[in-house]
Structure 1
Amino acid sequence: MRNISKTTTLEHKFPLLAVENNCIISKDGDVTACFQVHLPELFTVSSAEYDAIHSTWHKAIKTMPDYTIIHKQDWFIKENYAPDLSQEDQSFLSKSYQRHFNERPFLNHYCYLFLTKTTKERMRQQSNFSSLCKGILIPKEIRDKEVIRRFLESVTQFERIINDSGLITIELMSEEDIVGSKENPGLLEQYFTLSRDSSTAMQDIAIGAEELRIGNKRLSLHTLSDTDDLPAQVSSHSRYEKLSTDRSDCLLSFAAPVGLLLSCNHIYNQYLFLDNSDENLRRFEKSARNMHSLARYSRANQINKEWIDLYLNEAHSQGLSSIRAHFNVMSWSEESTELKQLKNDTGSALALMECKPRHNTTDVATLFWAGIPGNAGDFPSEESFYTFIEPALCFFNEETNYQNSPSPFGIKMADRLTGKPIHLDISDLPMKKGIITNRNKFILGPSGSGKSFFTNHMVRQYYEQGAHVLLVDTGNSYQGLCQLIHGKTKGSDGVYFTYTEDNPIAFNPFYTDDGVFDIEKRESIKTLILTLWKRDDEPPKRSEEVALSNAVAGYIEKIKYEDGYPSFNGFYEYVKGDFRKVLQQKEVREKDFDIANFLNVLEPYYKGGEYDYLLNSEKQLDLLTKRFIVFEIDAIKDHKILFPIVTIIIMESFINKMRRLKGIRKLILIEEAWKAIAKEGMAEYIKYLFKTVRKFFGEAIVVTQEVDDIIHSPIVKESIINNSDCKILLDQRKYMNKFDDIQKMLGLTDKERSQILSINMNNDPKRLYKEVWIGLGGTHSAVYATEVSTEEYLAYTTEETEKLEVMDLASEFDGSVEQAIKRITLRKKENNISINS
C-alpha cells in the first residue's frame, strides 16, 4: 500500500539556526543559554536543604527579564553497567565483583537547564503557530542587541546565585556539548534519537493523530497544564513512606515520583514562562470585573470571579510575580505491549504527587517539538496555566542518582536504589576538601547486620590499592580473606597470628630496629607498664607517673651506651638495681613511689614468672614488609591480664610500622578488642593513637556491635568518636528505643538519624545485599548497599559450616583457598543456588 502521509525532512523543519558563543539561536530570533545541572544525591537532602534549594531557584529566576522561558529538562535513561575487565592487575575477587555487576541495568539521570529570551508575541502563540506547522522557516534577525546583552548579564547573575548556594551547581555547556562531535553525539542529536549512545543513528520521526514515534520508539506523554489537574497543596519536599518510620522522615522532592522513582526511559520537562507580571494582573483585574458583571447569569461566573480575586489578593498582598507554568513527562518504549505499562506507571507516579494524570494525545507533537533544547519559544501557550514562582518551583525535580567520586582511590559500593556499583572515596578526597580532618573511622553494627562483610569488603580494597593493613580480631572474621591473600602471594603476605598455649604471641616492647626511642615510643612503653602496674579503678598519682617516666628514660639511656639485648627483663633489673639507688639519692618517699610494690606487681612478667614469655621475645615480628596482617586473639579475649597487654603491644607494633613507612597508606582495624583498652588508664593512649595516625598517612578504625558500650563509656566518646570524622553505621532498628542516646553520643543530625533508621527498610528482594550508612564530618552522608559476588561471599563468610567447607576443600588443592572458592562457586551456579549476605 502506498504511503500517502505527508513527509518532509528534519533539515527543512529544523527550528534552530546556529550555536554561537555557547548559546543556541533559533530561526525566530530566540537566544538560549544552555547549562548542565548537578543536583544533590537521592536520599541525602534534609528539609532545610530542600527549602534552601527552593529559595535559591526563586532568587535566581527573579533576576531574569520579562519574556524569558526557564526550561529544566531531566533525562532518565536506562543503561547497563559496563565493567572494565581488561585491567591486568585486577585480583581474583575484584574480577568476580566486576563480573557480578556486568550488564546490571540502572536508571541514569542527566539534568539540563535552558534559559530562553523570546518576545511577547512568541510567548502568546498557540500550537497552530508552531514552527512544526509552518511551511517555510525564514531566519529572523535578532531585533534588539541591547535586550540580548542585558539578558546575558542576567544569565551570568543567575549562574552565580545558583552556584553560590553550595547545594546545586550549573555548568555552561560548550558548543561541542550541544552540537556534538564525530565521536560523541551532542544534546540535539540525543534528543532526536532519544538516546545517549553514540552508535544510535538518526531515524524517521512519525507524527500521527494519537502517536509520535521516533524509529521504533513510541512516545507516551502526560501533561500538567491545567490548574484542575494540580494538587490542593504543594511543598518543596514530601515524605517518602517506604523509608520512613514513626520516629524519622525520609524526604524527597515533591516531584521525585516522576524522577528516579519512575523506573523507565523518560524525560521530565519543567517550564516557567516569565510574562510581564503587572500586565498579567491587569488582565486578571479586567476579567474579574467581567465575571462580576455576568455573575447573575451564571453561578460559574461568580465562582470564577472569587478564584481570580484570591489569585489577585495573593499576588498583591505578598508581592508575588504572576507567571505561567507547564510540566510534562515523556516516556517511551520500543515494545507496544510495554507502552501500556508505561502509561500506567507514569499515571501512578503523577497520582502519588496528588495530581490528576492526563494522558495527552492532542499536543504531543508540538510539545515534543517545543522540548527541543533552545526551542522553548515554540511552546503552545494554551498548554500552560497561571501560577506564582514559588508553587511552580515545587514541581522541579531536585535530586539525582549516586555519583562516582573523581578520586583515584576509594572503595566500591552499590547504589541502594538500582544496584549500580559506585566508586566512593571516604578518605582522601574528603580530607582534601576539608570535609574531614582525619581518616579515622568508627563502625557500629549489631550482630547479623552485615558488619563483617562490609569491613572485609573495605579492607580488601584498601589492600589491593597498596595499603598496609593490620587487623586485631576476636572472632575469625578475616581468616578466609587472609588465607586467600596468603595463598595468592605464596606466603609472602597474608600473615595470620593467633594465640595458643603452645605458641603464644610474644613481643619485646624495648626493641627498635634503628635504636631510636622517640617520644611516641617512650609514651607507648610507659602506657604498657602502667597497664601492667595499675588496676582499671586505680589511677596513678602524679609522682608515680614522673617516677615511671624517669625509670623508662633511665633504662633507655643505659642501653644506648652498654652492650646487651634490651628487653623487659633488663628494665626490671635496672629498676631493681640502678633506679632504686637514684630514688634513694633523690630521697623519694615510699608513699610517692613504692618501688617494692612496683617490682612485686611486675614480677610475673620477669624471667621465671608466669608470663615471662610475653615481653621478652628474642624473635621480632616482621610487620614492616607484610601488607596484610591479622592478629586473632579470641582465645584470650576474656583474660584480664593478657588481653589488654597483647592488644596494646600489637598497636605499638603498628605505630612502629607507621613511623617507618613514609608516604604509604596504613590502616589498623580493631574489632571488639578496643573494649579491653578503653579503660581509665588507657584513654590517653587511645587518644594518642587516633591523633598520631593522621600525621603518617594512616587511619585507625574501631568496630563494635554492642550499643551499650558506646552509650555508657565516656572514654569511647572522648578518645575514639571525637577523633573519628568518618562514622559508619549498619542496621540499628533493633536499637530503635535506644537510638536517642546513640544519636546524642555520636552527634548525629536529624537528617543523619533519618538516613540511618531507613537502612534495609526497602531492599530489593531480587538482590542480596545489606545497607550501610557512611557519614563524613557531620556534613556529608548517605546510605549505600554492600553487595558482593558469590566468590567474595565465600571469602568473607563467618558462618562456621560455609567456612569449613571452603577450608576443607582448600586442603585438597594444596591449601589454595582461591581454587576452593572457584570450585564451590561453579557448583552453586550449576545447581542454581544463591548466597545470602
Structure 2
Amino acid sequence: MRNTAKTNTLERMFPILSVENNCIVSKQADITVCYKVILPEIFTISDKEYETIHSAWHKAIKTLPEFTVIHKQDWFVKESYEADFKDAEQSYLSRSFERHFNERPYLNHSCYLFITKTTKERIKSQSNFSSLTRGELIPKEMRDKDTVQSFLEATTQLEKIVNDSGLISLIKLSEEDLIGSEDKSGLIEQYLTLSPSKRGSLQDIAISADEVRVGDNRISLHTLSSTDDLPSEVSYLSRYEKLSTDKSSMTLSFASPVGLLLNCNHIYNQYLFIEDSDYNLKQFEKSAKNMHSLARYSRANQINKQWIEEYLNEAHSKGLTSIKAHFNVMAWSDNHSELKQLKNDCGSAIASMDCVPRHNTVDAPALYWAGMPGNSADFPSEESFYTFIEPALCFFTGETNYQNSLSPFGIKMADRLTGKPIHLDISDLPMKKGIITNRNKFILGPSGSGKSFFTNHMVRQYYEQNAHVLLVDTGNSYQGLCELIKAKTKGTDGLYFTYTEENPIAFNPFYTDDGVFDIEKRESIKTLILTLWKRDDQPPSRAEEVALSNAVSGYIQKLQNSDIKPSFNTFYEYIKTDYKAELEDKQVREKDFDLANFLNVLEPYYKGGEYDYLLNSESELDLLNKRFIVFEIDAIKDHKILFPIVTIIIMEVFINKMRRLKGQRKLILIEEAWKAIAKEGMASYIKYLFKTVRKFFGEAIIVTQEVDDIIQSPIVKESIINNSDCKILLDQRKYMNKFDDIQAMLGLTDKEKAQILSINLNNNPNRLYKEVWIGLGGTHSGVYATEVSYSEYLAYTTEETEKLQVMNLANELDGNVEMAIKRLVQEKQEEYNQ
C-alpha cells in the first residue's frame, strides 16, 4: 500500500552524502572543510588586537576561490557546573568550594568554521530550490580533482594565515568530531538534536509556517538579511560601557551583544558568500543605468541609483571584493512561555548593535536546514545582501568565555561574567610557555579591596598542592587559616609565631632535625651572631670574621661529638670556656678579637638576660619540613633589637628550605612587613630572594597597599617590580587620579589599564565576590572573581568579630577550627531556611 503520510524520513531528506578525508561531502557534490575556532577570552583583548583579528580574517578569506561559502557558527549553550566530589583526599575547604559552585549555571561557547566549495548555480539558488523542498536527492558526481585540490590548498593557506595571527587558532575537525562515535555525538548530530553537551536522542523535527521545532525545543530566528536593517556605520569593536570609565575604555567585538552577552541557548550564524565579484559589479553597472533611465518615473529609482553608484565607487577606488552576507541568531527553548522572552532578548541584543531586528518566520525552516554543518550551499540567496568582506567581518564574534589552564597545578578563581569556577595556573604553565621567566608576584591593593582574601585563597590552594608556604604578616590576616591547618594536622603543621608579653616569640636557630649543618645553615648562624654583635655602621674586621667563623665551626663540631643541647645558651658557654682556651693557645691578640667585649654584647641573650627567651626555645622545632608557617611581626616591627633578629631567622628558614628541599615548590609571602625589612638594612635579603628564588622552584610574593610605597621605595622599584613577572592588582578606583604614575611604574599597557580600572564596576549583586586583575609577563592578563564558599570565608576573614566568633567556638570544641566553621555554616543555613 502506498505511503500517504505527510511526514518524511530524515534519511530521505538528508543533504549530506558522506564524510571523507575529514571533509563533508553533500549529495550536491559540495565539499566542506571544518574547523574548531579558538578565540581569545572575553575582556582580554585590546583595540589593536581586535584590529589584528579583523585583518587576519580578511587576509585569510581573500585567499579562497570563487563560489565558496564561509559559515562561522557560534554555539552558546546554557550548562551547569559539575562539582568534583570524586577526589577522596580533597580538603574540607576545597569540598566546600565545589559544593558552593555545584550546578552554577553558565553559558558555554563553542565556535566552528565551515568552508564550502560549491557552484555558481548553487550559490544563487533560492529557498524553493532547497534540499528541504525536494522529494528525492540524487547524489551528483564529484567535481574535477584539480578544483578540489585547489580548494583544499586554499583552505590550508587560510588556516595558516589565521593561526599566524597569534590570537585565533583553527583546529581541523576529524571524522569522529563530525559524525561521532559510539559514546560521543558528532557535530552534525548535535545540530540536529540541539544537544551539544551530552548525547541527545534523535527526535522529530517539525517544520511548518508557524514554527520550527526540534523535539521539544521551539526555535526563534532573528535575521540580518538586508542592508536596510544595518547601521550606517560598522566597526570591528564597540565600547562596553558597563566596564568603562572616563579614563579608560573596555572594548568588545561589534557582535558581542549576540554572543556571550546574550544569556540564553542560541546559535549565531555568520555567512559570507564569495561569488564572481567582477560579474556582480557589471550587473550593478547595468542596474544603475536602468535606474537612471527610470529616475523620472520614481524618486526611489534616483535614490537607488545613487546607492549603487556609491557601492561601485567604493569597490573600484579601493579594489574591494563584492560578496554577499547574512547573519542570524537562532535561539531555542522547550518552555513555550520562555520563548516570548527569548524573542525579546534576541531582538534587544540586535537592536543594541544599532541594527533592526527582524523576527523571521517565513524562511526559518530553510535557514535552520542550511545551518547544518556542511549544508551552507543550501542557503536561500534571497536572504543575503551585497557588501564587502571588511564590513561583513565586523559581524564576526571575536571572543570566547574564560578557559581553564591545561595544567595540573593552579588555583580556582571564577569567571567574572558568569561566575563559573576557572582553574588558573599563574606559575608553571606561563613559565613553560615562556610568558614569564620567574614565578615571583607583586600584589597591590588598597585596604578593603579584598587583598587578604585573595592571598588567603591562593596560599591555601598552594599548600593543598604540597607547596611549602612561609608567610610574614603584620595584621593577623592568616591566623584563621593557620589554626585550621594546625588543628587538621594535629599540631604537626600550621605554625603561628607572634609576640605577646605573656608568650614572647622564641626560636632555636641552632637546632636541626637531622643534625646537618650545611654551608647555608652555618652562614645564617654567623649572620645572626654578627647582627647581635655589631651595629649596621660597624662592619667587622677580617680578623673578627675569621674568629667568628672558627667559633661557629667549633661549636657545631662539639654538638656533633657530644650530647649537649643546641641553643644560644650552650653556644655562649662554649665561647666562654672551650673557645676562650683555644684563643689563648693561638695567642690571638685582643685588638684582633676582643672576646670580653663579644661576650658582654651577647650577654642579654644568655640565660638571665633581658632577651634570654629569644634564641633558646624549649620546643625543638626544625622548620625545614613544616609546610605552613606564619610569622606575625606587627608587635615587633619597630623594635630595634628584636626585629632584625627575627627577620634574619625568617630569611634563614626560607633560604634553608629553598636550597635543601629539592624539587618541592616553596613560596614566601611578605605582607606590609617588607617596608620594615627594607628599612632595617635587610634590603640585601629581599634583592637576593627575588633574583635567586626562581632557580629553586620557588616564588617570592610581596603585598602592599599604598601607591606611594611603590613610587618612593627604590628597593621595590628595582628589585621587586623588575623581578616579578606576575603582577596582581585589586580595586584601584580610589587611586584613579594617581593611576598614570602606577601605570608608568609597573609598565602597564593601555589595555591592562582599562582592565584594572574595570575591576568591580559591574559585579553581579546576587553573588558575593571581589575582582582581581592578574597580569603575566606584560602580554597575558585578565580580571577574575575571588568568590568563595561561606566555610572559606570564615577561614579567611580578617573581620575581628567574625574571627573571634570562630576562635571562641573552636576553643569550646578542643581547638577544632574545622568543626567550629562547620557549626557556624550549619547555623547560617538553618537561619536561611527559616
TM-score (norm. length: structure 1) = 0.92
Match of 2:129 in 1: 129
Q: Shift of the alpha carbon at 1:581?
A: 13
Residue 815 of structure 2 is aligned to residue 786 of structure 1: no
For residues 469 and 378 of structure 1, what CA distance do their matches in structure 2 show?
61
Q: Deviations over 1:41-98 (max 9, x none)?
A: 0100011111111111111111111111110000000000111212211111111111
Counterpart secondary structure, 1:85? coil
8 Å Cα contact 1:350/1:357 also seen in 2 = yes
Structure 1 residue ranges without an equivalent (≥5): none
Counterpart secondary structure, 2:681? helix
Match of 2:105 in 1: 105
Counterpart secondary structure, 1:723? coil
Q: Deviations over 1:174-230 (max 9, x none)?
A: 111100112111101110111124342111111121311111111111111111111
For residues 644 and 30 of structure 1, what CA distance do their matches in structure 2 show?
78
Counterpart secondary structure, 1:296? coil
Match of 2:465 in 1: 465
Change (3 A) 1:580 1:155: farther
Q: Shift of the alpha carbon at 1:117?
A: 0.4
Amino acid at match of 2:695: K
Residue 341 of structure 2 is aligned to residue 376 of structure 1: no
Amino acid at match of 2:457: H
Q: Shift of the alpha carbon at 1:614?
A: 3.2
8 Å Cα contact 2:532/2:602 also seen in 1 = no
Amino acid at match of 1:151: F
Q: Shift of the alpha carbon at 1:599?
A: 9.1
Q: Deviations over 1:731-763 (max 9, x none)?
A: 111111221111122221111111111111101
Q: Shift of the alpha carbon at 1:797?
A: 1.2
For residues 213 and 717 of structure 1, what CA distance do their matches in structure 2 show?
63
Match of 2:482 in 1: 482
8 Å Cα contact 1:680/1:715 also seen in 2 = no
Q: Deviations over 1:439-485 (max 9, x none)?
A: 11111112211112211111111111111212222212112212222
For residues 346 and 624 of structure 2, what CA distance do their matches in structure 1 show?
60
Match of 1:522 in 2: 523
Structure 2 residue ranges without an equivalent (≥5): none
For residues 675 and 647 of structure 1, what CA distance do their matches in structure 2 show?
12
For residues 224 and 270 of structure 1, what CA distance do their matches in structure 2 show?
10
Q: Shift of the alpha carbon at 1:291?
A: 2.0
Match of 1:234 in 2: 234
For residues 766 and 542 of structure 2, what CA distance do their matches in structure 1 show?
63
Residue 798 of structure 2 is aligned to residue 798 of structure 1: yes
For residues 291 and 367 of structure 1, what CA distance do their matches in structure 2 show?
31
For residues 74 and 588 of structure 2, what CA distance do their matches in structure 1 show?
83
**Aligned pairs (5 A) from 1:713-752:** 713-752=713-752
Match of 1:265 in 2: 265
Counterpart secondary structure, 2:832? coil
For residues 332 and 399 of structure 1, what CA distance do their matches in structure 2 show?
22
Q: Deviations over 1:298-352 (max 9, x none)?
A: 2222222222222122112221111111110000111121111111111111111
8 Å Cα contact 2:270/2:328 also seen in 1 = yes
Q: Shift of the alpha carbon at 1:594?
A: 12
Counterpart secondary structure, 2:781? strand
Match of 1:452 in 2: 452
For residues 172 and 797 of structure 2, what CA distance do their matches in structure 1 show?
49
Moved more, 706-715 or 220-229: 706-715
Counterpart secondary structure, 2:359? coil
Q: Figure out how many residues of one structure are paired with residues of the other and give that number.
A: 823
* Percentage identity across paired residues of the two chains: 71
8 Å Cα contact 2:551/2:575 also seen in 1 = no
Change (3 A) 1:749 1:631: same
8 Å Cα contact 2:525/2:552 also seen in 1 = no
Match of 1:204 in 2: 204
For residues 822 and 721 of structure 1, what CA distance do their matches in structure 2 show?
40
Q: Deviations over 1:576-626 (max 9, x none)?
A: 9999999998999xxxx9999999987755776543543465755321232
Amino acid at match of 1:135: G
**Aligned pairs (5 A) from 1:8-19:** 8-19=8-19
Match of 1:55 in 2: 55
For residues 772 and 21 of structure 1, what CA distance do their matches in structure 2 show?
46
Q: Shift of the alpha carbon at 1:518?
A: 2.9
Q: Deviations over 1:692-719 (max 9, x none)?
A: 2222212111222222211211211212
**Aligned pairs (5 A) from 1:579-618:** 610-615=610-615
For residues 372 and 532 of structure 2, what CA distance do their matches in structure 1 show?
73
Amino acid at match of 2:682: M
8 Å Cα contact 1:183/1:198 also seen in 2 = no
Match of 1:171 in 2: 171
For residues 5 and 144 of structure 2, what CA distance do their matches in structure 1 show?
40
For residues 107 and 175 of structure 2, what CA distance do their matches in structure 1 show?
27
Change (3 A) 1:233 1:548: farther
For residues 319 and 577 of structure 1, what CA distance do their matches in structure 2 show?
98
Change (3 A) 1:32 1:496: same
For residues 504 and 617 of structure 2, what CA distance do their matches in structure 1 show?
11
Amino acid at match of 2:707: V
Change (3 A) 1:393 1:528: farther
Counterpart secondary structure, 1:231? coil
TM-score (norm. length: structure 2) = 0.93
8 Å Cα contact 1:531/1:681 also seen in 2 = no
Counterpart secondary structure, 1:782? strand
Match of 1:677 in 2: 677
For residues 722 and 576 of structure 1, what CA distance do their matches in structure 2 show?
48
For residues 586 and 443 of structure 2, what CA distance do their matches in structure 1 show?
47
Match of 2:43 in 1: 43
8 Å Cα contact 1:78/1:265 also seen in 2 = yes
For residues 284 and 50 of structure 1, what CA distance do their matches in structure 2 show?
32
Q: Deviations over 1:514-563 (max 9, x none)?
A: 5544368637854884697455xx6x7xx768777656545455546666
For residues 696 and 427 of structure 2, what CA distance do their matches in structure 1 show?
14
CA RMSD of aligned residues (A): 2.9
Q: Deviations over 1:622-678 (max 9, x none)?
A: 212322222222322332442343133212112112222221111221111111112
For residues 583 and 474 of structure 1, what CA distance do their matches in structure 2 show?
48
Change (3 A) 1:243 1:520: farther
For residues 414 and 607 of structure 2, what CA distance do their matches in structure 1 show?
55
For residues 431 and 41 of structure 2, what CA distance do their matches in structure 1 show?
20
8 Å Cα contact 1:569/1:607 also seen in 2 = no
8 Å Cα contact 2:271/2:325 also seen in 1 = yes
Moved more, 526-535 or 5-14: 526-535
Change (3 A) 1:730 1:583: farther
8 Å Cα contact 1:527/1:682 also seen in 2 = no
For residues 583 and 14 of structure 2, what CA distance do their matches in structure 1 show?
96
Match of 1:21 in 2: 21
Match of 2:256 in 1: 256
8 Å Cα contact 2:40/2:167 also seen in 1 = yes
Amino acid at match of 1:427: S
Change (3 A) 1:169 1:716: same
Amino acid at match of 2:266: H
8 Å Cα contact 1:731/1:757 also seen in 2 = yes
Change (3 A) 1:675 1:145: same
Counterpart secondary structure, 1:624? helix
8 Å Cα contact 1:576/1:599 also seen in 2 = no
Moved more, 638-647 or 120-129: 638-647
Counterpart secondary structure, 1:454? helix
Match of 1:655 in 2: 655
Match of 1:149 in 2: 149
For residues 183 and 752 of structure 1, what CA distance do their matches in structure 2 show?
43
**Aligned pairs (5 A) from 1:407-422:** 407-422=407-422
Counterpart secondary structure, 2:391? helix
For residues 572 and 383 of structure 1, what CA distance do their matches in structure 2 show?
96
For residues 638 and 115 of structure 2, what CA distance do their matches in structure 1 show?
68
Counterpart secondary structure, 1:773? strand
Counterpart secondary structure, 2:330? strand
Match of 1:391 in 2: 391
Counterpart secondary structure, 1:95? helix
Counterpart secondary structure, 1:348? helix
Counterpart secondary structure, 1:297? coil
